[in-house]
Amino acid sequence: MLLRYQQSHVITVSKIQIQSLVITVIAFVIVSFVVIAMLTTAGNYSRFASTAVHDFTSSLQSELFIHVIGTENRHYLEAAPEMSTPNLSSVALELATQVNLEDPRTFLGRELPGFEVFDDTIVVAGEGTDLTTMSIESSPPPDAFIDQEEDKGEKEEVRPSLSHEDALVHIVHTHNREAFHPYSGGENYATEQNIVEVGKEIGRHLDEAGIPVDVNEDDIHGMLIDRGLHFSRSYDVSRDVVVDAKNKNDNLEFFIDVHRDSQPHDITTATINGEAWQRTFFVVGTDHPDYERNKALATELHYRLEDEYPGLSRGVLERGGAGTNGVFNQDLSPNAMLIEMGGIDNTFDELNRSAEAFATIVETYIYEQLEEEEGE
């Protein structure tokens, strides 16, 4: 009787050992896969640099980190009582798969070619602004980097540049050949009657209001060709232009990069007082440490536009990460901004109305800032 009990006891212990062994093997396999995944997705780093850690955790909500710190210091949680407790299962899923259950784009971002690029965030949505109406940049034509003969020929006379040795505002056009279909024969890019004309119109109104302005008309697209650079390096070239202007003029405080959107006419146009106006869209680059200050400026100007001209501004957009520049030279100044003026189908009548409105808003803002500085 004792012998059978001992034999049964031995068999039971053996089952537990087998179960423990299986669990250990499974756990080892899971841990191995996690470690391998971390090593292979961390980039070309010999060690875990801060950039690797940033990329790995950038998708996590900031509330999670606050709650983690709050477990040690309750004051952090008391400072934000309205903050909800993060769902740990959702956080684990997002960290492991980069899928956010609250953002449908993450389900398709890795499956549809090119879809992952459209990962912008709407900070402030203007009238009619959603994920389907966000700013779209025109792709350069196939011959964009061929030194065309017509570019070397005689050009039409253009209005003189607006510049001032004591300028407070600098206007640049990183994609200076962005054109408008009513004047370009349906082409997205042109050497004449392009986005530069809109920047000059903004500068003219600022100048008339007593704001000294320097409107840069350099052919940045042509400079790309001369340097043999890809279109994606446009902001590197315009950065040289802006830095050079800053070095020559210490008074420069505000920097405006004027662009043209590629959305159709119905999205980029508003009717105000019975007239058609092109709509504006502020774009903030998030791939630099101080972008919050640029975002604050863009948000302030958006609301001022909306107060004076309801429906004129499409909102404020955050843009960063893979597939885009993500800085747009806004790291050079907290008063740097990128604004989309209208779209590919807008006319200069529509553009000029909004250029004057935008200049008026900027003028008022600048004078307020100058008065505050004098009062300090």
Output the pLDDT for position 28: 84
> For residue range 187-244, what is the model confidence (pLDDT) as tens digits?
999 999 999 999 999 999 999 999 999 999 999 999 999 999 999 899 999 999 999 9
Output the pLDDT for position 26: 83
Output the pLDDT for position 3: 47
Output the pLDDT for position 193: 95
Q: Please give the structure tokens belonging to residue 143.
A: 């011959």
CA distance 342 to 138: 13
Which residues does the chain have with pLDDT short of 70?
1-16, 37-165, 375-376
Instruction: State pTM to two decimals.
Output: 0.68
